[in-house]
Amino acid sequence: MLLGGISLGLAAVPLTLALSTSAGPVNGDGTSNVTHGNFTYNARQFLLNGEPFQIIGGQMDPQRIPKQYWRSRLRMARAMGLNTIFSYIFWNNLEPRRGRWDFDDRNDLVTFFQTVQEEGLFAVLRPGPYICGEHEWGGFPAWLSEIPGMAVRENNGPFLAATKSYLDRLGSELRSQQITRGGPILMTQLENEYGSFGKDKLYLEAHAQLLRANFETPLYTTDGGGKSYLEGGQLHGVLAVADGDPKTAFAARDKYVTDPTSLGPQLNGEYYVHWFDDWHVNVTHNSLDGNQAGQERVVKDLEWVLRGNNSFNIYMFHGGTNFAFDSGSVWAEGRTRAVTTSYDYGAPLDETGRPTKLYHKLRDLISRHVPAGSIPDVPSMPGLARVDEFSLRPLLSLFDARSSTPDKESAEPVTMESLGQSYGYLLYEHVVEVDASGVLSPGDEARDRVIVYVNEVKVGVIDRTYLTLASVKVGVKRGDILRLLVENVGRVDYSQKLRDQRKGIVGNVTIGRDVLRGWSMYSLPMSELPSLVVGGEQFEVNDGPVFYTGSFELPDGAAVDETRDTLLSFPAGVKGQVWVNGINMGRYWTIGPQQSLYVPGCYLKPSGSSNDVVVLELEPKPGVQLTGRSVAVRKWFNNPDPDAP
């Protein structure tokens, strides 16, 4: 191992580090269960301060949950019987611009892990830098694309240098939260399912050395339960664990990992209760509600793990929300699967923090395998607040909210990243010099969704979420204005396409065989709302994107955070983004399956006060009133896509 730059060698079992500590996670009776602060393992068991320890874990990512709700969600985890929280860390949220760090609000990781400990739980750190997780570019910040010579997840100098900067800073923040220093963090994950991407052991070893320079806890790798996955992702001296169905995963780990220094106790690194949702007309919500057989499958699988004195991580225990533009996408079967704002994942604790039927079944299961009385009672949760229907009025065109001068002018279009932009929208404007007609092609491929306008009239949408792209035919004459509004619907977080996730237009725009030269680019990241949105004068809606505003009040008695939780829907909307009291709640899209947005009560004002809503509707319908309303019981369904190819 490497600690503080001193090589200690690699052994079959990670070195036990024993540092005196006076604080640590607590048992159900309130007594401390940390005296010397060390965590290691032998061939069969994890060892906490030398005593056998079975990890009964669940995944919960702090950056997907309002900081105000961390404690209540952790209490729900303890009340289900969990003793360990696994957490991804999103690098792109911590360093949105190179060298500019943000550890406030949902990024306040020290407070999160302190709260984990205060609630009697341990933690496993999954820092990446690549974390997958259906998150924007798997956690990579968009600015990596602009570093010369960059090749992510490879033994590449620029990538390792950027990774070192990230892990050094993360280590400086979280070093005190390790068990060796009195904190709750037991282990740290090396990379993330690397065997699904590559098999470069030099890269894995370089990455491991960066982790060891910053973290004192044992390292582990997690990969899918297949030969190529486990052989590619395993590293000498690092515990290997497998994901998926536990019987298959455990057997595969012991069959395909032959290096004895990577063998040890069995941990199901990600036990999938269900799966993520993506926006599409024919995708249904992934849930076990009402699925008795599915619930019984989960209970049976985890009971088998517990009886074998093995360990698991439920992915997800609580999925949370992809606020703002955080949701990523997955490239699969020739199309982009854009992940929904909700990361509910069919989890035992739903997106709003309310327990499901599966939650209670798992609590019953775990209670049979832990000491009597060690699991606290389930905290009561209030119902969701009801909001009267409210109207939204159009105030400002998105095109009028752009800067008065282009952010860049050039012969060829440029990418989002080259303008210093990560998320949102980029408007490309071209004044036609020569008449042209034919099929429009926006660069080498549509990245990701392109709305095409000629003289402010929408003529079509090219959407990468479809296997077959729409064929948008245009006819333009000299002097016409061609606009292409390109939306980043989430950088791909999985597959070999991960290597190049520049957004906007890459390559030339053509109409038929004619290459269009001469472009003005306007950056529309939506990191801040235009000041003209509030208090402007209403105008007539046409084909272009429009900001709408409105407000609502909560009912009497909605005074405490979770009594104010609500779900909002915008049934007349097609696609867009919603802000409540200035906070970006995320995307909505009529195609579903998600038809309502979770609005945490901690972001709302108590009854009697007005909550301001701003909606950016990308495809407004002239003459149609846009309204917002609350949903008493969440429903998941699909609508026809008005832009289907």
Bond from prior residue into 593 cis (ω within 30 degrees of 0): yes
Instruction: Kindly tell me the burial class for residue 234, based on how many C-beta atoms sit within 10 Å of its own C-beta (0-12, 13-18, 19 or more).
Output: buried
**Catalytic residue, candidates 134, 173, 193, 619:** 193
What number of other Cβ atoms are within 10 A of residue 201's Cβ? Answer: 15
Is residue 193 among the annotated active site residues? yes
Cα gap 206→160, rounded to integer Å: 8
Write out the E strands in 273-424. Answer: 311-318, 329-332, 335-338, 390-397, 408-410
**545's tokens:** 């994107």
Q: Residue 422 in 3-state DSSP?
A: coil
Q: Residue 447 in 3-state DSSP?
A: coil
Give the length of the chain: 645
Cα gap 275→286, rounded to integer Å: 6
Q: What is the DSSP letter of 385?
A: P
Instruction: Kindly tell me the burial class for residue 15, based on how many C-beta atoms sit within 10 Å of its own C-beta (0-12, 13-18, 19 or more).
Output: middle
**Cβ neighbours for 339, distance < 8 A, ≥ 6 positions apart:** 134, 276, 277, 278, 279, 322, 327, 328, 329, 330, 490
- Confirm if 483 and 450 have CB atoms less than 8 A apart: no
Cα gap 536→529, rounded to integer Å: 13
- Confirm if 86 and 73 have CB atoms less than 8 A apart: no
Cα gap 563→325, rounded to integer Å: 26
**281's tokens:** 């007309």
Bond from prior residue into 316 cis (ω within 30 degrees of 0): yes
Distances (CA, A) of 631 to 75, 281, 310, 354, 608: 26, 21, 41, 15, 20
Distances (CA, A) of 250 to 2, 72, 111: 29, 33, 34
Question: In terms of Cα–Cα distance, which of 62, 129, 122 is closest to 311?
Answer: 122
**Catalytic residue, candidates 270, 417, 487, 619:** 270
Name the amino acid, one letter, at 436: A
> What are the contacts of 8-12 at 24+ separation with CB within 8 A?
10/236, 10/237, 10/261, 11/237, 11/261, 12/260, 12/261, 12/263
Is residue 205 among the annotated active site residues? no
Cα gap 556→597, rounded to integer Å: 22
Active site residues: 193, 270
